[in-house]
């Protein structure tokens, strides 16, 4: 259907931690302007899979392609160079420094004298946070002093500030209130319109069905199946997650229940 | 006022944007508003109590120019190393080897200065002191990088690596000359340790003092302008003025004290005559002025503060301390940063080794014994958290001064050495306990 080559393609990705195959021959892909929901029970391997894409882990085997080109992602820096930004489930914030320092961590703005340009970074932070969480005021305090939702906003701000082409969101709204969750949903739709591809990990099936174009379901490190959200019902997807049964509307993966 | 999901911390509303008129704000809130660390005030207050207490107990012998001058000189070596230790501890590591490293570097410096260089270009060559200093910094830096590499790349716990270093470098210090003491040092090197030859004189002290005051004034004006340009909240003008005035006041007071410490009459006379002036009948009072090691420590403090707060490297150091995994996921090369922190620590040990050797006018293999404990104590008393991520250079230098004040004071009032150790140990524990209480109360 889609003639453009996928923005990101992960093929036959496997990784094991001390004998446990956390991710086992997983293939997923993502097109520009598409939202793909990654679903699965706790410990299914979703976070591990996306950490391979974001450069936190190196896959034992498999291939990653960006715009059809095979790439080697050996570090978070490599991933960012390819325009892949990540909101981690754990948020990955340095608690002892402020929002601006976190957003620009590793990519600080410098003055002509090579010193930190804190004023510009703070001004930019005010701008990007204004988009996400207009009530946010505590720019000077270490993020440790922020609420869970505010911290999540900072993590999201960091991912969207640098003009990502691929955005990975690992349970981005887990700590957000209803208003902030709506804001993130609107943000996702806006980014989608801009042609950004988004991997969205969430346990909230309603959210995923509202936002995602396709879903891939994982179970015990393997893909049960992939489906367009229009082709399957929420109950069928729930069945995929719980029992690994692949419905007719989905393309079965290696992890699908046989028979 | 603030956000919808109410944060769980009691430290509400520090930004001071819309909530100026709120009543019931504590003193700490006000201090936070003017961006002044209340802990710093606590330290200065503690120092004042110690000074006044010892002055009372010693019948006015503590707060004399002579004693204060010596106090500053004596704390210089520990202060310099404490600057590096703050960064080490902020990255969630420790360095137990600094005292032994100081001993080893000191021996090597002695060897270079008294045996190697004189063979090359004779005694008292004008370049001897600087070659010694550079060699010490380089040697310390290399040792630090080596230990840092083991910690960062081989992931051996820093406690173990530097505990090993504590034994290794102390042994190596003995090995350099089979335990022989090396003396005396080059006459141009000795000023690094203080003493009469290390006092820069009264007019030079005033020149430096006023230069520092001017820098403080210009700095606060520039900072204020910049915040205004970006439309950020400004702290009240009175606060800016008060802080700058306090800083300048401290500088001027220090210069006055240093200048009030008179040189011995004989030396003053020689100095006067060397200038081609006549020595008057009733004699002349010539002050010492600031001491070279104190200025050196101050320069190190400023440089490391700049590095820690204004440069990318410092930002990484603190981020690693806050969350090493986050720093790494953000693309920070955490291993390289940790290794460089140890390299810097080593280079500072090199500077301290020169100060200590010059002050003693001899290199001994026991130099720096127990210094690691004093350095760590200084950093911790100065508010550096052993959990990582938190610490200031200025705090650590004040911490070093607190430790030295306790020790000098106890010597002055004739407390026995074992009891001195007991007191210092207790103070360390109590200081950290109080700091913990404070942190819990104010977040
Ligand atoms: N660093 C690691 N070392 C060892 N095992 C790991 C590591 N990371 C993940 N695992 C294991 O890999 C499996 C997949 O974990 P992962 O975090 O990817 O699950 P998940 O699908 O994100 O679950 P959740 O919904 O709870 O976030 C789990 O069994 C987990 O214990
Ligand atoms: Mg997960």
Using only the alpha carbons of chain B, give its radius of gyration: 23
Distance (Å, rounded) from C-alpha A57 to C-alpha A67?
21
Q: Per-residue pLDDT for B17 more than 70?
A: no
Which of A69-78, B33-42, B218-227 is the most confident on average?
A: A69-78
Question: Looking at residue A2, what is its pLDDT?
Answer: 47
User: Tell me: the pLDDT tens digits for B70-79?
Assistant: 999 999 999 9
Ligand in closest contact with the CA of A15: 1
What domains does chain B contain, in order, with CATH numbers? 36-199+291-442 (1.10.3470)
| CB distance A173 to A180 below 8 Å | yes
Give B42 or A112, the one with higher predicted confidence. Answer: A112
Q: Ligand 1 pocket check: which of A45, A86, A199, A202 to mutate, most ligand atoms within 8 Å of Cβ?
A: A45
Q: Which residues, including other chains, have CB under 8 Å from residue B215's CB and lie 6 or more apart?
A: none
Distance (Å, rounded) from C-alpha B201 to C-alpha A159?
57
Q: Do the Cβ atoms of B327 and A75 come within 8 Å?
A: no
Q: Has residue A125 been placed in a domain? A: no
Q: Per-residue pLDDT for B30 more than 50?
A: yes
Q: Do the Cβ atoms of A106 and B14 come within 8 Å?
A: no
| CB distance B308 to B87 below 8 Å | yes
Say if B319 is an interface residue toward chain A (CB within 8 Å).
yes
Of B11, B315, B328, Cβ closest to residue A145: B11
Question: Looking at residue B31, what is its pLDDT?
Answer: 60
Ligand in closest contact with the CA of A42: 1
Q: Do the Cβ atoms of B17 and A137 come within 8 Å?
A: yes
Q: Has residue A80 been placed in a domain? A: yes
Q: Output the six-digit token pair for A224.
A: 């049960």
User: Tell me: the pLDDT tens digits for B248-265?
Assistant: 999 999 999 999 999 988
Distance (Å, rounded) from C-alpha B386 to C-alpha A31?
47
Question: Looking at residue B161, what is its pLDDT?
Answer: 98
Q: Output the six-digit token pair for A49.
A: 């899979």
Question: Looking at residue B336, what is its pLDDT?
Answer: 97
Q: Has residue A168 been placed in a domain? A: yes
B436 pLDDT band (50/70/90 cuts)?
confident
**Which residue has 């990705």 as its token pair?**
A13
Q: Per-residue pLDDT for B15 more than 70?
A: no
| CB distance A198 to A230 below 8 Å | no
**Distance in angstroms between the alpha carbons of the first and the last residue of chain B:** 20
User: Tell me: the pLDDT tens digits for B303-359?
Assistant: 999 999 999 999 999 999 999 999 999 999 999 999 999 999 999 999 999 999 999
> What is the CATH number for A30?
3.40.50.300
Q: Give the CA count within 13 Å in the CB-facing half-sphere of B78.
A: 28
Among the ranges given (A184-198, B22-36, B198-212), the one the predictor scored with the smallest mean pLDDT: B22-36
Q: Ligand 1 pocket check: which of A19, A28, A44 to mutate, most ligand atoms within 8 Å of Cβ?
A: A44
List the Cα angle A158/A163/A164 in 5-degree steps: 80
Q: What is the Å distance from ligand 1's center to A59 Cα?
A: 14
Q: What is the Å distance from ligand 1's center to A53 Cα?
A: 15
The string of DSSP codes covering A159-170 is HHHT--SEEEEE
Per cent of chain B over pLDDT 70 is 91
Backbone angles phi, psi at B261, to 5 degrees: -85, 105
Q: Ligand 1 pocket check: which of A39, A46, A48 to mutate, most ligand atoms within 8 Å of Cβ?
A: A48
Q: Output the six-digit token pair for A166.
A: 């691929």
ipTM value: 0.91
- The burial of A186, by beta-carbon neighbours within 10 Å (0-12 exposed, 13-18 middle, 19 or more buried), is given as exposed
User: Mean pLDDT across the stretch B38-60?
Assistant: 90
Q: Has residue A107 been placed in a domain? A: no
Q: Per-residue pLDDT for B235 more than 80?
A: no
Among the ranges given (B38-42, B191-195, B324-328), the one the predictor scored with the smallest mean pLDDT: B38-42
Q: Do the Cβ atoms of A56 and B329 come within 8 Å?
A: yes
Considering only CB atoms, which chain B residues are within 8 Å of A92? 323, 325-326, 329-330
| CB distance B82 to B400 below 8 Å | yes
Considering only CB atoms, which chain A residues are within 8 Å of B390? 96
B442 pLDDT band (50/70/90 cuts)?
low
Q: Per-residue pLDDT for B8 more than 60?
A: no
Q: Has residue A34 been placed in a domain? A: yes
Say if B8 is an interface residue toward chain A (CB within 8 Å).
yes
Tell me which residue of B68, B82, B74 sits closest to B378, measured CA to CA: B82
| CB distance B235 to B35 below 8 Å | yes
Distance (Å, rounded) from C-alpha B379 to C-alpha B94?
11
| CB distance B397 to B301 below 8 Å | yes
User: Tell me: the pLDDT tens digits for B265-290?
Assistant: 888 888 888 888 888 887 788 899 99
Q: In A104-257, which residue ranges form alpha helices assigned H by DSSP?
A: 118-132, 148-161, 178-193, 205-211, 234-243
Distance (Å, rounded) from C-alpha A4 to C-alpha B302?
56
* Structural domains of chain A, count: 1
Q: What is the Å distance from ligand 2's center to A224 Cα?
A: 17
Say if B189 is an interface residue toward chain A (CB within 8 Å).
no
Q: Output the six-digit token pair for A176.
A: 């957000």
Judge if the upstream peptide bond of residue A49 is cis by omega within 30 degrees of 0.
no
Of A119, A136, A140, Cβ closest to residue B14: A140
Question: Looking at residue A251, what is its pLDDT?
Answer: 93
Q: What is the Å distance from ligand 1's center to A48 Cα?
A: 6
Question: Looking at residue B4, what is its pLDDT?
Answer: 39
Closest Cα to atom 29 of ligand 1: A43
pLDDT, mean of each 10-residue run, chain A (259 residues): 77 94 95 96 95 96 94 95 94 94 96 93 92 84 89 92 94 86 89 93 92 95 95 94 91 82
Structural domain harbouring A33? 8-96+164-258
Pocket of ligand 1 (CB under 6 A): A 17, 20, 22, 40, 42-48, 89
Q: Do the Cβ atoms of A88 and B390 come within 8 Å?
A: no
Q: Per-residue pLDDT for B132 more than 50?
A: yes
Say if B389 is an interface residue toward chain A (CB within 8 Å).
yes
Q: Per-residue pLDDT for B14 more than 70?
A: no
Question: Looking at residue B146, what is its pLDDT?
Answer: 98
Q: What is the Å distance from ligand 1's center to B388 Cα?
A: 27
Ligand in closest contact with the CA of A17: 1
Query: From edge to edge, which strands make up the β-sheet containing A20-30?
Result: A20-30, A8-17, A61-66, A69-71
B127 pLDDT band (50/70/90 cuts)?
very high
- The burial of A202, by beta-carbon neighbours within 10 Å (0-12 exposed, 13-18 middle, 19 or more buried), is given as buried
Q: Has residue A121 been placed in a domain? A: no
User: Tell me: the pLDDT tens digits for B366-397?
Assistant: 999 999 999 999 999 998 988 899 999 999 99
């Amino acid at each position: 259907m889609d003639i453009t080559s996928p923005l990101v393609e992960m093929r036959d990705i496997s990784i094991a931690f001390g004998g446990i195959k956390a991710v086992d021959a997983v293939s997923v892909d993502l097109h520009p302007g598409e939202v793909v929901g990654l679903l699965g029970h706790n410990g299914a391997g979703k976070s591990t899979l996306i950490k391979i894409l974001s450069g936190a882990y190196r896959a034992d085997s498999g291939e990653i392609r960006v715009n059809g080109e095979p790439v080697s992602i050996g570090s978070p820096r490599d991933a960012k160079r390819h325009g892949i930004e990540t909101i981690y489930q754990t948020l990955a914030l340095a608690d002892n420094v402020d929002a601006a320092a976190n957003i620009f961590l590793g990519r600080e703005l410098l003055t002509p004298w090579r010193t930190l340009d804190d004023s510009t970074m703070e001004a930019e932070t005010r701008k990007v946070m204004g988009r996400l969480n207009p009530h946010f005021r505590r720019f000077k305090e270490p993020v440790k002093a922020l609420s869970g939702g505010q911290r999540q906003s900072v993590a999201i701000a960091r991912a969207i500030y640098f003009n990502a082409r691929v955005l990975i969101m690992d349970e981005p709204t887990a700590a957000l209130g209803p208003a902030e969750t709506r804001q993130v949903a609107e943000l996702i739709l806006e980014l989608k319109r801009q042609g950004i591809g988004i991997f969205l990990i969430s346990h909230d099936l309603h959210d995923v069905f509202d936002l995602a174009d396709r879903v891939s379901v994982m179970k015990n490190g393997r893909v049960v199946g992939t489906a367009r959200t229009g082709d399957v019902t929420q109950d069928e997807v729930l069945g995929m997650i719980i029992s690994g049964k692949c419905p007719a509307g989905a393309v079965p993966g290696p992890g699908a229940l046989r028979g | 006022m603030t956000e919808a999901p109410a944060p769980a911390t009691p430290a509400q509303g520090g930004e001071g944007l819309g909530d100026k008129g709120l009543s019931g704000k504590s003193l700490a809130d006000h201090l936070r508003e003017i961006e002044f660390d209340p802990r710093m005030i606590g330290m200065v207050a503690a120092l004042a109590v110690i000074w006044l207490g010892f002055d009372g107990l010693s019948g006015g012998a503590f707060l004399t120019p002579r004693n204060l001058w010596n106090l500053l000189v004596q704390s210089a070596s520990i202060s310099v190393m404490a600057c590096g230790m703050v960064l080490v501890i902020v990255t969630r590591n420790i360095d137990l080897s600094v005292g032994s490293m100081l001993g080893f570097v000191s021996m090597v410096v002695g060897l270079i200065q008294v045996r190697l260089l004189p063979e090359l270009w004779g005694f008292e060559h004008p370049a001897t002191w600087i070659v010694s200093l550079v060699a010490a910094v380089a040697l310390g830096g290399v040792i630090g990088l080596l230990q840092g590499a083991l910690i960062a790349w081989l992931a051996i716990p820093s406690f173990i690596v530097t505990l090993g270093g504590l034994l290794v470098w102390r042994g190596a210090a003995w090995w350099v000359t089979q335990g022989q003491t090396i003396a005396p040092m080059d006459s141009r090197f000795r000023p690094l340790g203080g003493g009469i030859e290390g006092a820069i004189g009264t007019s030079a002290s005033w020149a430096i003092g006023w230069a520092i005051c001017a820098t403080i004034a210009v700095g606060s004006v520039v900072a204020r302008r910049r915040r205004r340009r970006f439309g950020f909240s400004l702290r009240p003008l009175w606060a800016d003025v008060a802080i700058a005035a306090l800083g300048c006041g401290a500088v001027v007071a220090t210069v006055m004290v240093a200048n009030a410490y008179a040189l011995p009459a004989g030396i003053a006379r020689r100095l006067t005559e060397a200038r081609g002036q006549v020595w008057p009948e009733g004699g002349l009072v010539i002050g010492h002025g600031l001491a070279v090691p104190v200025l050196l420590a101050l320069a190190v403090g400023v440089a490391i503060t700049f590095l820690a707060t204004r440069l990318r490297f410092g930002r990484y150091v603190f981020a690693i301390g806050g969350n090493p995994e986050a720093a790494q996921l953000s693309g920070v090369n955490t291993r390289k940063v940790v290794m460089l922190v140890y390299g810097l620590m080593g280079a500072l040990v090199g500077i301290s080794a020169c100060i200590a050797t010059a002050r003693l006018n001899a290199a001994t293999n026991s130099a720096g014994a127990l210094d690691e404990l004093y350095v760590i104590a200084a950093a911790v008393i100065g508010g550096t958290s052993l959990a990582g991520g938190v610490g200031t250079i200025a705090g650590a230098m004040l911490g070093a001064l607190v430790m030295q004040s306790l020790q000098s004071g106890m010597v002055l009032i004739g407390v026995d050495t074992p009891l001195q150790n007991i007191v210092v140990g207790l103070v360390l524990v109590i200081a950290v306990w109080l700091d913990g209480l404070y942190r819990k109360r104010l977040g």
